[in-house]
Homo-oligomer: A and B are copies of this chain.
Amino acid sequence: MQKRLSLNEYMNGILAGNRIILSRAITLIESQLPQDKPLAQQLLEQLLPYTGNSVRIGITGVPGVGKSTFIEVFGKTITSLNKKIAVLAIDPTSQLTKGSIMGDKTRMEELAHDPLAYIRPSPAGSSLGGVANKTRETILLCEAAGYEIIVVETVGVGQSETVVKGMVDFFLLLMLAGAGDELQGIKRGIIEMADAIAITKTDGENAQAAQNARLEYLHALHLYPTPVNGWVVPVMTCSALQNQGILEIWQTIALYAEKTKTSGFWQQNRQQQNLGWMYDFIQQTLEEDFFSDPIVTEKIPRIQSDILAGKILPVQGAKELLGSVKRTH
């Protein structure tokens, strides 16, 4: 393992925008080693005053929607405006396959070599909650390193979207124009989270289908209530291949930032996310501690099978497990 730097070395390196030291700091906060945790915590605490000044964007979409290509062109658009962008990933599946969606070296090659861009693969972790926590901390480190736009990428399936929604300012849903059942494969709740929908690959033969899909989505969104912040969710079209519509998406996000900062929603949302982070962390720690208790671990298989067989009441099983562990001051 690489030698750890001192707190000051990490601090100064990050504040100077040194990417190598930023990477090493992220590795430090991702570390599962108990001896790394105090330093990681101290570093985050000291960097806290330098955080918060980015636009945090969540991007999701089903596999095949062209997420990498989109993010690459989106990122180049940002850097061409002379702004710094960091791309992080939340990918709970990478824990299973050991093949992170961001681990693919051929992805975003051009962006990866852009001096204004920083790309970081998904952290390893035993639970989505753990991964989320590390990603939240990585956002703070990137902000302290001067990244003005931070993209958190997630695959468009499962629970990770909810987690990402809870850590970003703007949630962008990428969709494919298809024939017919437009929302196939996207969980309905994900549509609800979107601050904008962008239909990708709007080029060549796909152009007309994309326009039709746009109307379909607008219709579907129209059926739902307007979000509490008063923002009307736009449905946009874009082509990463032809670099069309990408700048407009960034402009839309910038407009959202401007409007919600003026209304105060931006700040309120961040504050609520921070409180949510605290409660998530507590809930997660309580459960992790409980379910990693050796007595609980030993009893669970029998209790689960008794419940599945209808032999005992769920509450009976729960009480037996809860009774195994006592809490004191």
A residues near B, CB below 8 A? 41, 44-45, 48, 52, 133, 137, 140, 181-185, 187-189, 191-192, 216, 220, 222-225, 271, 274-275, 277-279, 281-283, 285-287, 289-290, 293, 295, 303-304, 307-308, 310, 312-319, 321-322, 324-329
Contact = CB atoms under 8 A, between A and B. Distances in A.
A307 B223 contact: no
A290 B286 contact: yes
Contacts of A328: 325-328
Given A184-B225, A188-B191, A329-B324, A275 B290 contact: no
Given A278-B307, A304-B275, A182 B223 contact: yes
Given A216-B223, A313-B44, A275 B308 contact: yes
A48 B44 CA distance: 52
Nearest to A133: B315
B223 A314 contact: no
Contacts of A191: 188
Contact of A48 (B137, B283, B310, B317): B310
Nearest to A300: B278
A316 B277 contact: no
A186 B189 CA distance: 13
B181 A222 contact: yes
A188 B278 contact: no
A295 to B, nearest CB: 6
A34 to B, nearest CB: 14
Nearest to A268: B308
Nearest to A315: B281
A134 to B, nearest CB: 11
Given A285-B322, A286-B287, A278 B182 contact: no
A324 B286 CA distance: 13
Given A45-B313, A304-B275, A318 B281 contact: yes
Contacts of A326: 327-329
